């Protein structure tokens, strides 16, 4: 065990944990004030629900002994054999518990990301059951495929910190949920104006901060690779902030604070799969493209007519997909991409993108249909109009 | 007694308050209100989606005064709130039947 690496990864785990309340604020500010608490709850509750599920069985399904390249076994269920030493740890320099809790924080934020798609119109009971099922049936296999010794990692797909596992998977799930759940009442007729943008900006800032743990920590050591991932993360994000607001400007509007915050998240998402494989200069190019691309991505929902309330598909789905492909183009550290003359890498990335989208979309549809039949996913029209805070949680965010 | 209600631009609140104070008005009630008139609303853009916001924020200042002071107060308030652009607002004058000062029980002009 390497004490330096251990200290670093434990701190990174705490940083990643902080992203989830950051996401709660990011999303919370974007909804109308009658739904601020329910939206915050969608993220915050994952800290409770997913953490326990992860310890009971989620970690084992992701990192237990490989079964056919598809899923992990039950050997680490109830954290059996996950101890203070390095025995059984997928990272030989880290105590098994350290590796487990770092991965736990990734599992927590992923279902929380989806919640942006069904914000303002999801029953809390349906949400809880859906999220638990999604974690075990979609996240755990995805995590196993890419990082746990499954087929996608074996194929050579590069995903440094979760472009496929976290962002594409949540983006694909978001698309399925938005389509199945239908539009919010009044969508397209009434204005849906964010009720507290300063809250959203603060949330974006916390996400940016926590993302250093997410990406640099994914080096799984306090080394130069971690430093590279830290720098690429920052540079891509900064570049995406610039390119998003420039796109807004050119598109005929004004530079908005929401645009700057959205650009930051787009850049963070896009660099996630690439962070340890590309140089800082390549990261800036990735960020510049991601900002413009995701600005276009959020327009897609108007074109296709689904109500992805907080643009999870446009930012995480599209940004994650672009990041995965960009990794296949720009990889030059520890792997070779298209620009290094290795076109095969881009093909492998493409296969991983298609497989991730199809698997996550189809599984989400199945889970959604089952939970909808069991407890119902959408509140009554009257409850939705009154707001989810008072109807789902018996409280209101603001007393005025 | 009359009530003068001045609905105008929020940034003109201080100017109007100052003008009324200069004329010896010793009390007023101020509220933040929303509405629209000929100015209409405005457009807001969030992530590329444009929304028409019909109600624009204004400030409403209410004072109750003796009948004879109404013309000069209205004139000064009008001058203070004036910019010359659409959206300067309106002044409403209406009769007030009775005023009671709660602490002393005084009524009418004495209670203003």
Instruction: Please state the domain extents for chain A.
Output: 3-387
How big, in percent rounded to 5, are the helix, strand and coil portions of chain A?
70, 0, 25
Supply the mean pLDDT for chain A: 96
- Listed in sequence order, the residues at least 6 apart from A146 whose beta carbon sits closer than 8 Å to its beta carbon are A152, A153, A157, A159, A164, A165, A352
Question: Percentage of chain A surpassing pLDDT 70?
Answer: 100
The answer to whether residue A303 scores a pLDDT higher than 90 is no
Q: Which residue of A has its CA nearest to B53?
A: A191
At residue A72, the 3 state secondary structure works out as strand
Residue pair A160/A286 in contact (Cβ under 8 Å)? The answer is no
Cα–Cα distance, B27 to B73 (Å, whole number): 13
Q: Which residue has the tokens 């962002």?
A: A167
Alpha helices, DSSP H only, in chain A? Answer: 3-30, 36-53, 59-63, 96-114, 124-134, 140-147, 151-155, 169-181, 197-216, 224-250, 257-271, 280-304, 312, 318-330, 343-374, 381-386, 388-393
Q: Buried b / exposed e across A314-352, counting CB within 10 Å, b at 16+? A: bbbbbbbbbbbbbbbbbbebebbbbeeebeebbebbeeb
A400: confidence class by pLDDT, cuts 50, 70, 90:
low
CB contact under 8 A, B48 and A295: yes
ipTM, two decimals, is 0.79
Where do the domains of chain B lie? Answer: 2-111
Q: From the list A256, A295, A302, which residue is nearest B45 (CB)? A: A256
Q: Chain A: nearest CA to B86, how far in angstroms?
A: 24
**pLDDT for the residue numbered A13:** 98
> In angstroms, rounded to a whole number, what is the distance separating the alpha carbons of residues A52 and A131?
13
CATH architecture of the domain formed by B2-111:
2-Layer Sandwich (3.30)
Position A202 scores a pLDDT of 98
Q: Taking Cα atoms as reference points, which of A127, A213, A113, A206 lies closest to residue A167?
A: A113
Does A356 have pLDDT greater than 90? yes
| pLDDT reported for residue A300 | 86
CA separation for the pair A200, A261 (Å, rounded): 8
Residue in chain A nearest B55 by alpha carbon:
A191
Instruction: Provide the chain A residues 186-205 that lie in CB contact (below 8 A) with chain B.
Output: 191-194
pLDDT digits (tens, 9 = 90+) for A143-200: 999 999 999 999 999 999 999 999 999 999 999 999 999 999 999 888 899 999 999 9
Query: What is the mean pLDDT of the segment spanning A347-368?
Result: 98
| The model scores a pTM over 0.95 | no
Q: Tell me the pLDDT tens digit for each residue of A244-294.
A: 999 999 997 899 999 999 999 999 999 999 999 999 999 999 999 999 999
The list of chain B residues with pLDDT below 50 reads: none
* Residue A123, helix vs strand vs coil: coil
Contact B47 A258 (CB under 8 A): yes
Cα separation, A169 vs B9, whole angstroms = 49
Which residue of A116, A191, A295 to mutate against B (max B Cβ within 10 Å)? A191
In this predicted model, what pLDDT tens digit does every residue of A129-143 receive, in sequence order? Answer: 999 999 999 999 999
Q: Which fold has domain A3-387?
A: Ammonium transporter fold (1.10.3430)
């Amino acid at each position: 065990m390497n004490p330096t690496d251990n200290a670093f990864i434990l701190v990174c785990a705490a940083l990643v944990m902080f992203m989830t309340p950051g996401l709660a604020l990011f999303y919370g500010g974007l909804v109308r004030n009658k739904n601020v608490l329910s939206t915050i709850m969608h993220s915050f509750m994952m800290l409770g629900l997913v953490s326990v599920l992860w310890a009971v069985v989620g970690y084992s399904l992701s990192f237990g002994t490989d079964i056919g390249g598809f899923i992990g076994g039950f050997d680490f269920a109830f954290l059996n054999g996950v101890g203070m030493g390095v025995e059984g740890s997928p990272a030989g320099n880290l105590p098994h518990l350290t590796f487990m809790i770092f991965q736990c924080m990734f599992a927590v934020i992923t279902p929380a990301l989806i919640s942006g798609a069904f914000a303002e119109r999801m029953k809390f009971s349906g949400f809880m059951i859906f999220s638990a099922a999604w974690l075990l049936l979609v996240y755990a296999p995805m995590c196993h495929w890419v990082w746990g010794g499954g087929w996608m990692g074996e194929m050579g797909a590069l995903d440094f910190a979760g472009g496929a596992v976290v962002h594409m998977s949540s983006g694909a799930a978001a698309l399925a949920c938005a389509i199945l759940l239908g539009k919010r009442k009044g969508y397209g007729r009434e204005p849906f104006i964010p009720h507290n943008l300063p809250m959203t900006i603060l949330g974006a800032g916390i996400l940016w901060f926590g993302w250093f743990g997410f990406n640099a920590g994914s080096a799984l050591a306090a080394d130069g690779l971690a430093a590279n991932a830290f720098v690429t993360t920052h540079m891509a994000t900064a570049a995406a902030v610039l390119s998003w607001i420039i796109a807004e400007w050119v598109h005929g509007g004004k530079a908005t604070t929401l645009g700057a915050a959205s650009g930051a998240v787009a850049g963070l998402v896009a660099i996630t799969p690439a962070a340890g494989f590309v140089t800082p200069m390549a990261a800036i190019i990735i960020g510049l493209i991601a900002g413009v691309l995701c600005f276009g991505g959020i327009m897609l929902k108007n074109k296709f007519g689904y109500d992805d309330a907080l643009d999870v598909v446009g930012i995480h789905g599209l940004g994650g997909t672009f990041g995965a492909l960009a990794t296949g183009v720009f990889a030059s550290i520890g792997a070779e991409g298209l620009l290094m003359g290795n076109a095969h890498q881009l093909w492998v990335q493409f296969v991983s993108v298609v497989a991730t989208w199809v698997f996550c979309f189809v599984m989400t549809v199945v889970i959604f249909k089952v939970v909808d039949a069991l407890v119902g996913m959408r509140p009554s029209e009257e409850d939705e109009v009154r707001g989810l805070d008072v109807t789902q949680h018996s409280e209101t965010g603001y007393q005025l | 007694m009359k009530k003068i209600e001045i609905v105008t631009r929020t940034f003109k609140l201080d100017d109007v308050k100052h003008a009324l104070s200069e004329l010896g008005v010793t009390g007023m009630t101020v509220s933040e209100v929303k509405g629209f008139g000929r100015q209409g609303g405005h457009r807001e853009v969030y992530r590329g989606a444009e929304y028409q916001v019909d109600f624009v924020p204004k400030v409403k200042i209410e004072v109750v005064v003796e009948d004879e002071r109404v013309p000069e107060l209205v004139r000064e308030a009008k001058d203070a709130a004036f910019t010359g652009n659409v959206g300067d607002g309106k002044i409403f004058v209406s009769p007030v039947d009775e005023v009671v000062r709660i602490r002393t029980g005084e009524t009418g002009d004495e209670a203003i």
